[in-house]
Amino acid sequence: TKRLTLRDIAAMRRRGEPIAMLTAYDATMAALVDRAGVDMILVGDSLGNVVLGHETTLPVTLDDMIRHAGAVKRGSARALLVCDMPFGSVTDPATAIENAVRVMKETGVEAVKIEGGIAMVPTVEKLVGHGIAVMAHIGLTPQSVHQMGGYYMHGKDEASANRLREEARALEAAGAFAIVLECVTPVLAAEISRSLTIPTIGIGSGQDCAGQVLVINDLIGLNTTPPPSFAKPRADVASVISAAVGEYIADTKAERGPIPLPRRAE
Ligand code: KIV
Ligand code: NA
C-alpha cells in the first residue's frame, strides 16, 4: 500500500469525499487504525492527557511528540501523518521552523499541526514557504485553556463568529492544507466549511465539515473518565481490559496446591 499524500486529501475535498481522521500515539494503535482504513492519523498533543497523565496539553514537549510520532510512523503504512506542534514550540516563525524541521527530519510525518488564529498566520506562511505542510486548528484550542478560561463552544456570538470566519480565511490564504474546527457551533462550522477550498476537519463541531477527527481513546471507550459529550464511543475497551485482567488475576491466584519451599540443610 502507498501512503496518502496532500494531493489525495485535496482531491477528496474536491470530490466531496469525507475525510476520516483519528489520533494515535503508539505503533500498535497506529497499525490498527491504519489497517481499518483511516485517511489521516494525528499524533495529537492530547498525548499529554491520554498517555502521559497530565491535566492539560501544556506540559507536552517537542521530544515527547517526536518520540510518539516516530512510533506512529513505524506502525502505519497508508494514512497521511500529522504531528501536533506542542505548546511553546511555535512562539515565533524562526522557532517554529527550527522545531518543525526537527519533527519532519526525526519522525517522517507528512505534516504538522499548529493551534491558533491570526497570530499564527506569519508562522504558517513561513513553514509552508519552507516546504512544510501545515494543518491549522481554531475554535477551542486546548493549549490556550488558561487564557480562554476553560473548554467551551466557540462562535456563539457574532464577534466570536466573525473572528473564526476571518481566521479560517487568513489561514487558508497563508497556505494551510486543512483546518481543524474544534467545538465551533455546527451552523458556523458548516458555513466556514463551504466557504473554504481546503478541507475543514471537525471535532465537536457538527457533521457538516469536510472531515472529522476524534481522539482514538474516546472513540473506543479506552479511558477512565467520561469522554467529551460530542464523542460517541463505539466500543467499551476499558471494560474488555478490566475483565481480561480480572480473569488473569483470579486464574493466577486460583488454588493449585502449595508450591513447597526448599528444604534447608540443618
Ligand atoms: O491533540 C489532539 O488530539 C487534537 C485533536 C483532538 C484535534 O488536537
Ligand atoms: Na492537539
- Which ipTM score applies to this complex? 0.99
State which ligand 1 atom lies nearest to the alpha carbon of 115.
Answer: 8
Which of 21, 22, 23, 183 is the pocket-test mutation for ligand 1 (most atoms within 8 Å of CB)? 23
**pLDDT one-digit tens code per residue, 80-108:** 999 999 999 999 999 999 999 999 999 99
Residue 231 CA, ligand 2 centroid: distance in Å: 15
Residue 182 appears among annotated catalytic residues? yes
Asked whether residue 231 is assigned to any structural domain, the reply reads no
The pLDDT tens digits of the residues spanning 34-80 come to 999 999 999 999 999 999 999 999 999 999 999 999 999 999 999 99
Q: How far apart are CA 111 and CA 236, in angstroms?
A: 31
Cα distance between residue 240 and residue 191, in whole Å: 40
The whole-number pLDDT of residue 255 equals 80
The answer on whether 144 is annotated among ligand-binding residues is no
Percent of the chain with pLDDT over 70: 100
Question: Which range marks the domain in which residue 52 is found?
Answer: 6-220
Distance CA 241, CA 93 (A): 44
Q: Examine residue 228 and state whether it is found in any structural domain, yes or no.
A: no
* Residue 230 contacts residue 204 (beta carbons within 8 Å): yes
pLDDT at 1 over 80: no
Across the chain, mean pLDDT equals 97
- The whole-number pLDDT of residue 245 equals 98
How much is the pLDDT for 226?
93
Residue 232 lies in a domain: no
Query: Does a structural domain hold residue 126?
Result: yes
Buried b (16+ CB within 10 A) or exposed e, 247-265: eeeeeeeeeeeeeeeeeee
Q: Atom 2 of ligand 1 has which residue's CA nearest to it? A: 44
Report the pocket of ligand 1 as residue ranges, CB < 6 Å: 23, 42, 44-46, 84, 180, 182, 203, 213, 215
pLDDT at residue 257, as a whole number: 82
Given the residues 17, 106, 182, 266, the one annotated as active site: 182
Q: What is the CATH number of the domain that holds 101?
A: 3.20.20.60
d(C-alpha 176, C-alpha 192), whole Å: 15
In a domain, 233, yes or no: no
Query: What does the pLDDT read at residue 265?
Result: 78
Residue 110: pLDDT above 80? yes
- Domain contains 190: yes
Q: How far is the CA of 46 from the centre of ligand 1 (A)?
A: 6
The residue-averaged pLDDT of 233-250 equals 98
Q: Is 76 annotated as a binding residue?
A: no
Question: Nearest ligand to the C-alpha of residue 23?
Answer: 1
Q: At what angle do helices 158-174 and 121-129 cross, to 10 degrees?
A: 20
Tens digits of residue pLDDT in 136-193: 999 999 999 999 999 999 999 999 999 999 999 999 999 999 999 999 999 999 999 9
Cell numbers representing residue 196 in the block: 473554504
Model confidence band, residue 256 (pLDDT cutoffs 50, 70, 90):
confident
89 known member of a binding site = no
46 known ligand binder:
yes
Total of domains in the chain:
1
- Atom 5 of ligand 1, nearest CA residue: 44
Q: If you measure from the C-alpha of residue 255 to the centroid of ligand 2, how many angstroms do you get, rounded to a whole number?
A: 48
* 3-state secondary structure (DSSP) of residue 218: helix
Gap between the Cα atoms of 47 and 62, Å rounded = 12
Q: What is the DSSP letter of 9?
A: H
Any domain includes 180: yes
Q: Which ligand is nearest to the CA of 139?
A: 1
Q: Within 10 Å of residue 78's Cβ, how many Cβ atoms?
A: 14
What's the pLDDT tens digit per position in 187-241? 999 999 999 999 999 999 999 999 999 999 999 999 999 999 999 999 999 999 9
pLDDT score for 52: 98
